[in-house]
Amino acid sequence: MDVISNIIAQAKADMQHILLPEGTDERTLKAADRLIADKVARITLFGNKDGIEALCRKLGLTNIMGKAGIIDPKDNPKKEEYAELLYQLRKAKGMTREQAVKLVEDPLYLGPVMIKNGDADGEIAGACNPTSNVLRPAFQIVKTAPGISVVSGVYLMILKDGTYGENGVLVFADCAVIPDPTAQELAQIAITTAHTTRALAGFEPRIAMLSFSTKGSAKHERIDKVVEATRIAKETDPTLMLDGEMQLDAAIVPEVGASKAPGSPVAGKANVLIFPSLETGNIGYKLVQRLAGAVAVGPILQGLAAPINDLSRGCSSDDIYKTVAVAAVQSIQLKASRR
């Protein structure tokens, strides 16, 4: 079974409750309709009930009616309870009760508050909102999972042929969150990505810490950062198959890996690529997606205490469908890790 089919099958086996705050977006409604029909997740949409139902009728979406939850953030019976929770969580950061009351009318705040209150398992947004507006409330309210200091974003890159990575599948990080990670943060990104790889891609990670140098072939402070991150990651988890610093070709091409990094357990056969900065990660995944025609699944946020995943504003209904399935599997895994 391919990676995506496997994720969808896992999601169906233990249906999670996922929030879709952009309930008047047509792509979101189409995805919700299919997710409900296929029994991938329980769905709650945010927005005006009459407006959503009218849109569904116009689009011929029959599964949402009566089967999806619909919450109007401005007319929500639990508004006071949620405002109080938000106020308690953020008052030390200067939030007033009045601000909390106003903020729980904002779908991007309501989602994380509902998750924090135990009323939902995860959220997908970003089809109509910039990344930072989706991430900030998630960071402030849901916060990181125990033992994790930073949230980062991975993509599952599914290539057209099986030459590179794990039969054509590679995991890229961080492509979405931390503009200029420290060595400590880069090490954390690598370790968290190893967990995500096992949980979602279903294979054992071989992690390359990327740079523009391989094993000391060049000198620069940006290379030093990757060398230090490699040291910290290995020290933190000696069982990881991880190596660096190395260039992209040394990481994925067997002959180049053998010549530039002989004896490396990763060089030439990496299936996880850790990029040294957000510029490189974000540009890198888009290059592979656009020029090599790879399917890019993500960004999948990792490290949060509950799954909240961002979408690109250019996303399709199918992207939303897959991202919900991913969040559902993340939720199942997070719950299992807490038992």
CB environment 263-292: b (16+ within 10 A), e (fewer): ebebbbbbbbbbbbbbebbbebbeebeeee
Q: Is 309 in the site for ligand ACO (CB under 6 A)?
A: no
Q: What 3-state class would DSSP assign to 302?
A: strand
- Check residue 135 for interaction with ligand ACO (CB under 6 A): yes
Task: Note whether 144 binds ligand ACO by CB under 6 A.
Answer: yes
Helices 49-59, 26-37: crossing angle, 10 deg rounding = 80
**Residue 190 sits in the site that holds ligand ACO (CB under 6 A):** no
Q: Is 132 in the site for ligand ACO (CB under 6 A)?
A: yes
232 binds ligand ACO (CB under 6 A): no
Is the Cβ of residue 10 or residue 280 nearer to ligand ACO in the bound state? Answer: 280
Stretches 64-72, 78-86, 131-139, 230-238: which one binds ligand ACO (CB under 6 A)?
131-139
Judged by DSSP in three states, 26 sits in: helix
- Nearest partner of 137 among 316, 8, 301, 326, judged by Cα: 301
Q: How far is the CB of 219 from ligand ACO (least distance, A)?
A: 29
CA of residue 333 relative to chain centroid, distance? 14
Q: Identify which range of 50-58, 134-142, 246-254, 328-336 contacts ligand ACO by CB under 6 A.
A: 134-142
151 binds ligand ACO (CB under 6 A): yes
Q: Which stretch binds ligand ACO (CB under 6 A): 52-60, 165-173, 177-185, 321-329?
A: 177-185
Say whether residue 177 binds ligand ACO (CB under 6 A).
Answer: yes
* First-to-last C-alpha distance (Å) of the chain: 28
Q: Which residue is nearest to ligand ACO (CB)?
A: 139
Applying CB under 6 A, does 28 fall inside the site for ligand ACO? no
Residue 188 is a binding residue for ligand ACO (CB under 6 A): no
Dist. CA 29–CA 42, nearest whole Å: 13
- Sole binder of ligand ACO in the list 136, 198, 220, 290 (CB under 6 A): 136
Which of 134/267 has CB closer to ligand ACO? Answer: 134
Please name the residues in contact with 219: beta carbons below 8 A apart, sequence gap of 6 or more: 213
Taking the complex as a whole, the smallest distance from the CB of residue 189 to ligand ACO amounts, in Å, to: 9
Residue 129 in contact with ligand ACO, rule: CB under 6 A:
no
Q: Cβ closer to ligand ACO: 250 or 305?
A: 305
Binding footprint of ligand ACO, residue count (CB under 6 A): 17
If one asks whether residue 299 binds ligand ACO (CB under 6 A), the answer comes out as yes
For residue 206, list its beta bridge partners. Answer: 241
User: Hunting for tokens 């009323």 — which residue is that?
Assistant: 119
Q: Helices marked H in 177-220 — which ranges?
A: 183-196
Angle between helices 183-196 and 221-236 (to 10 degrees): 50
Which one among 44, 282, 302, 331 touches ligand ACO, defined by CB under 6 A?
A: 282
DSSP per-residue codes, 94-129: T--HHHHHHHTTSHHHHHHHHHHTTS-SEEEE-SSS
> Which residues contact ligand ACO by CB under 6 A?
93, 131-132, 135-136, 139-140, 144, 150-151, 176-179, 282, 299, 312
